[in-house]
Structure 1
Amino acid sequence: MAKTDILIVGAGPTGLVLALWLIRQGLNVRIIDKSSGPGETSRAMAVQARTLEFYRQLDMADAVVAAGYKTPAMNLWALGKRKAQIQLVDAGNDISPYPFVLIYPQDRHERFLVDRLRELGVEVERQTELVSFEDKGDQVAARLKHTDGQEETCEALYLAGCDGARSPVRHQIGSGFDGGTYKQLFYVADVSASGVEPAGEAHIAFDKSEFMLMMSYGQAGQYRLIGTVRDERAEHPENLTFADVGHEAINGLHITINNVNWFSTYRVHHRVTDHFRRGRVFLLGDAAHVHSPAGGQGMNTGILDAINLAWKLTAVVKGQAPDSLLNSYETERQAFAHKLVETTDRLFTFATAEGGFADFVRTRIAPIFASIAYKVEDVREYMFRVVSQTMLNYHESPLSAGKAGSVQGGDRLPWVPLPDADNYESLSTIGWQVHVYGEPRADLATWCNQNQLPLHAFVWQPEHEKAGLAPGAVYLLRPDTYVALADPSGSVATLDRYFSERGINLIA
């Protein structure tokens, strides 16, 4: 009988990232998928700044950025006329080391992650299906079926369901999936096109209630189209081709589609499961939440699920924390999923609403408003923070405590760039650490050394104050780089109390 620490079901980006982060922290994993290989097509296109910040932990960010494409601008079109252009280059220049929108299609992204996993000595077990499992209290016994029909039992300390929106894992644990399905049918197509102006930029086109998004891969003439299918054509999607869908919005861009390389249709759902955890079984990514593609959040949200859970599983398996630490995964990620569904639902409803008044607002008012608003620095930064997920916080988590300056427990650590370095360099490792901006108290270094907790002290700069940090305060950072504790006094006793109250032992 095979044994492992964590059995991961599903080898999309969520499952692959979970495997990478667990292996890097010293755990044993098996990752299975019933497909024969990585996806060849996908709808997910954007890799957001927060994801890239985490990718620094495994030295993957630079490679992903190099392989992707930084979208320079978004153009808004209505009724055949370009109404606005929103510059995206360096939109978050003061917020993140990755202040752009990166296009890196999911199929290429998956292959990249599979290669990184292979470099760490782990292969995805393809054409391997989870038949059933039993949570025995101290472990999970899973029955697996291979492509030749042979079955085996795998014992794992925990099981992670990263197996998509129709998740068999979710069904077996009996977790609900409340929400609904939008009535609109969407199509997605990879095309070769000419006449695109400006070429290499993103375009959103509206023509009455028809909507179309066009994104460049960064390769000459190659684009991804996502649009709505209207009227009775949406009733039989299985028979549709690209020629069948409405082309009013496409024609409004004054372009020529030379070749359709791939075409598919899909429905958009908005659902969140009621349990992200049941005993020793967890749900992540689309198995836990699905929503509109507005803002390019889906794949990134699943990746952040994986990173949130990975360090907690590691701490529990290694005996450094009690099993109750794992409950914070559901607390933190479920709250964000509900908020994300609510936000994307509003955007999606606006983009697809039918009727004369909705058409007027979408084609006449919204482009002007967006163009003017984006020129205001505060508005531009806010929009970047929302889309990039750098605004995400865990203020209500049991793992969050204290406030120093304007930074409080549960916040993402503010990024502070300086001429020679930034304060994110130490975040390239996975583990607890302490940051002090200014002079740390004399006993802090001793305490950190005794507890094998890295201490990073930064010479106080005006930029630190501008970022909301307080001089001499202690900022305890979780392994996923969120602020766990912000203590303006810089007290060793406060650090001691934080860990003891939560049963976390750093040197177990």
Structure 2
Amino acid sequence: MTPIDVLISGAGPTGLALALWLTKQGVKVRIIDKTEGPGTTSRAVAVQARTLELYRQLDLTDDVLAQGRKVPAINLWVQGKKQTRVSFDNFAADLTPYGPFTYAQDQHERLLIERLEALDVRVERQTELQSFSDTGDRVTATLQRADGQQETCDAAYLAGCDGARSLVRQSIGSGFPGGTYDQVFYVADVTAEGPALDGELHVDLDEADFLAVFPLAGQGHARLIGTVRDDRAEHPENLKFEDVSQRAIENMKVEVRQVRWFSTYRVHHRVTEHFRMGRCFLLGDAAHVHSPAGGQGMNTGLGDAINLAWKLKAVLTEAASDALLDTYQTERRSFALKLVATTDRVFNFATAEGRVADFIRTRVAPLIMPTLFRFEAARDYVFSAVSQIVVAYRDSAISAGRAGSVRGGDRLPWAPVPDVDNFATFDTIGWQIHVYGIASPALCDWCRSHDVTLHVFAWQEAYAAAGLARDAVYLLRPDTYVALATTDQAPEQLEAYFAAHRISLVQ
């Protein structure tokens, strides 16, 4: 029995991302999955801007952009006619380099697997976690291999990335409060023709049926998401594509040539009570499930993985106390609760039944949205929420200070100027400092002596417009969120921060 640092149960995008971020930091992992191979269907397709920003750390972003598809606009249909088109071209163009994007989950998983294998880490397939015990200083797990034989695995930590029916969550006794929506949904990946297959997002708002058409990479390839209503919803497991209502599909003039994948499902909204218990952690669907509104699920799981990975590294190398791992729960559970509440509201609006709901959805919304989105503030608000660039940890125990409008726990503002992209520094995993203006000799000396990379950007007014303060110090965590924001460049400020949170830069 060879001890390892982290045992990861579940090789979906969340588990793969956690394994990749940990391995890049020199953490020894095992990642297991009970399936025979990676997924072969698209499943989650939305990749949000914040995910693309974070993917720069491991040079993943360009590959995702090359293989996926940009979504240029959303179109709203009512009674067989396209009533409204809202372009995404001017959505939050000054807030992030990335707009709405789709990238099929099967491709996404293959990319992460390829990167892991390049680092000599392979997913152990047909290997299932059967039980485990947390002894206080280690986790001892019993695994069943493909040949039916059992094996004991000794790990410092266990990460449950094993989905909504998580064995890890059930075993640690963490509740999963929430509920299930009444509606049954179907999802189909198709090859089709028609005006709704133009590479843009199309949504039908008719009274009886909901249908959304998401563009996928490839000519005529799209994802259909629709509702299954009336008595057909009683046994959704028996439905075929031919059984679902064709009214919305016909209204949007979608001519389906081939159905590559079809499935039905009920939508849940739940958040577990504990993201961490002892040496066990829950991530992704094991920790939170919610409606598909806004394409948040997979991206939230990826955010969990990146948040936890650097903290595990720090504690494993004794560069931080165990208390740092508690911030994983406080930061990510708080966000998950807010996300579920938000997606609930959007989901209920899109699927509500009744005359008033129908009137608002089919008559009012198509008229108001184009007018509303003429205002930059409205565009920025909607896009920021969906893209997850407003995710912040201001209430975290390891967030401190304020400089300009930026506070500890915030995502650092993207503030590009000619020939300079301040997010270009997000190409490594580690602590770094940004100064917009002039860095004092004392600060430069401190960064050199503590092996912290200092990035100094010559002051321009664009930085002020983004909310950054001139000559302020922005200490960035290894996941690129602001740990400390201060207008005082005295090294004592940095020393006090690390001492207060029992974090060492010597690893």
Q: Report SS of the residue matched to 2:210.
A: strand
Amino acid at match of 1:319: E
Q: Which moved more, 1:287-296 or 1:489-498?
A: 489-498
The answer to whether the 8 A contact 1:207-1:248 is kept is: no
| Residue number in structure 1 paired with 2:73 | 73
The answer to whether the 8 A contact 1:412-1:482 is kept is: yes
Q: How does 1:65-214 map to 2 (within 5 A)?
A: 65-89=65-89, 91-98=91-98, 100-197=99-196, 199-214=198-213
Per-residue Cα deviation, 1:211-250 (whole angstroms, up to 9, x for no partner): 0010111322221100000001000112211111112211
Per-residue Cα deviation, 1:5-38 (whole angstroms, up to 9, x for no partner): 0000000000000000000011100000000111
| Residue number in structure 2 paired with 1:397 | 396
The answer to whether the 8 A contact 2:42-2:107 is kept is: no
Name the CA distance, whole Å, in 2 between partners of 1:205 and 1:480: 38
Q: How does 1:253-332 map to 2 (within 5 A)?
A: 253-332=252-331
| Residue number in structure 2 paired with 1:336 | 335
The answer to whether the 8 A contact 1:209-1:353 is kept is: no
TM-score (norm 1): 0.98
Name the CA distance, whole Å, in 2 between partners of 1:358 and 1:43: 29
| Residue number in structure 2 paired with 1:43 | 43
| Residue number in structure 2 paired with 1:11 | 11
Q: Report SS of the residue matched to 1:177.
A: coil
Could you tell me the percent identity over the aligned residues?
59
| Residue number in structure 2 paired with 1:241 | 240
Q: CA offset at residue 258 of structure 1?
A: 2.1
Q: CA offset at residue 358 of structure 1?
A: 0.6
Amino acid at match of 2:209: E
Name the CA distance, whole Å, in 2 between partners of 1:195 and 1:504: 57
Q: Report SS of the residue matched to 2:386.
A: helix
Aligned residues: 507
The answer to whether the 8 A contact 1:180-1:269 is kept is: yes
Q: CA offset at residue 441 of structure 1?
A: 2.2
The answer to whether the 8 A contact 1:209-1:355 is kept is: no
Q: Which moved more, 1:139-148 or 1:84-93?
A: 84-93
Name the CA distance, whole Å, in 2 between partners of 1:266 and 1:45: 16
Q: CA offset at residue 197 of structure 1?
A: 4.3
1:388 corresponds to 2:387: yes
The answer to whether the 8 A contact 1:212-1:226 is kept is: yes
Amino acid at match of 2:48: Q
Name the CA distance, whole Å, in 2 between partners of 1:134 and 1:255: 53
Name the CA distance, whole Å, in 2 between partners of 1:494 and 1:209: 60
Q: How does 1:402-481 map to 2 (within 5 A)?
A: 402-481=401-480
Q: Report SS of the residue matched to 1:191.
A: strand
Amino acid at match of 1:18: L
The answer to whether the 8 A contact 1:134-1:140 is kept is: yes
The answer to whether the 8 A contact 1:207-1:252 is kept is: no
Q: Report SS of the residue matched to 2:270.
A: strand
Q: CA offset at residue 496 of structure 1?
A: 0.7
Per-residue Cα deviation, 1:418-448 (whole angstroms, up to 9, x for no partner): 1112111112110011111111222111111
TM-score (norm 2): 0.98
Amino acid at match of 1:135: D
Per-residue Cα deviation, 1:110-143 (whole angstroms, up to 9, x for no partner): 1111111111110000000001001011110011
Name the CA distance, whole Å, in 2 between partners of 1:90 and 1:11: 37
| Residue number in structure 1 paired with 2:367 | 368
Q: CA offset at residue 193 of structure 1?
A: 1.4
Q: CA offset at residue 259 of structure 1?
A: 2.2
Name the CA distance, whole Å, in 2 between partners of 1:90 and 1:103: 18
Unpaired runs of 5+ in structure 2?
none
1:350 corresponds to 2:317: no
Q: Which moved more, 1:325-334 or 1:467-476?
A: 467-476
Q: CA offset at residue 498 of structure 1?
A: 0.4
Let me know the Cα RMSD of the aligned residues.
1.0
Name the CA distance, whole Å, in 1 between partners of 2:156 and 2:456: 38
| Residue number in structure 1 paired with 2:377 | 378
Amino acid at match of 1:6: V
Q: Report SS of the residue matched to 2:422.
A: coil
| Residue number in structure 2 paired with 1:505 | 504
Name the CA distance, whole Å, in 2 between partners of 1:163 and 1:287: 6
Distance 1:198 1:187, change over 3 A: closer
Q: CA offset at residue 90 of structure 1?
A: 5.4
Name the CA distance, whole Å, in 2 between partners of 1:470 and 1:228: 49
Name the CA distance, whole Å, in 2 between partners of 1:471 and 1:279: 42
Q: Which moved more, 1:76-85 or 1:176-185?
A: 76-85
Per-residue Cα deviation, 1:31-59 (whole angstroms, up to 9, x for no partner): 00000111112431111111111111001
Name the CA distance, whole Å, in 1 between partners of 2:415 and 2:237: 51
Q: Which moved more, 1:255-264 or 1:281-290?
A: 255-264
Q: CA offset at residue 449 of structure 1?
A: 1.5
The answer to whether the 8 A contact 2:158-2:281 is kept is: yes
Q: Report SS of the residue matched to 1:2.
A: coil
Name the CA distance, whole Å, in 1 between partners of 2:263 and 2:36: 20
Amino acid at match of 2:92: G
Unpaired runs of 5+ in structure 1?
none
Q: Report SS of the residue matched to 1:16.
A: helix
Q: Which moved more, 1:256-265 or 1:231-240?
A: 256-265
Amino acid at match of 1:154: C
Per-residue Cα deviation, 1:175-219 (whole angstroms, up to 9, x for no partner): 000000001000001112122246121100022031001011132
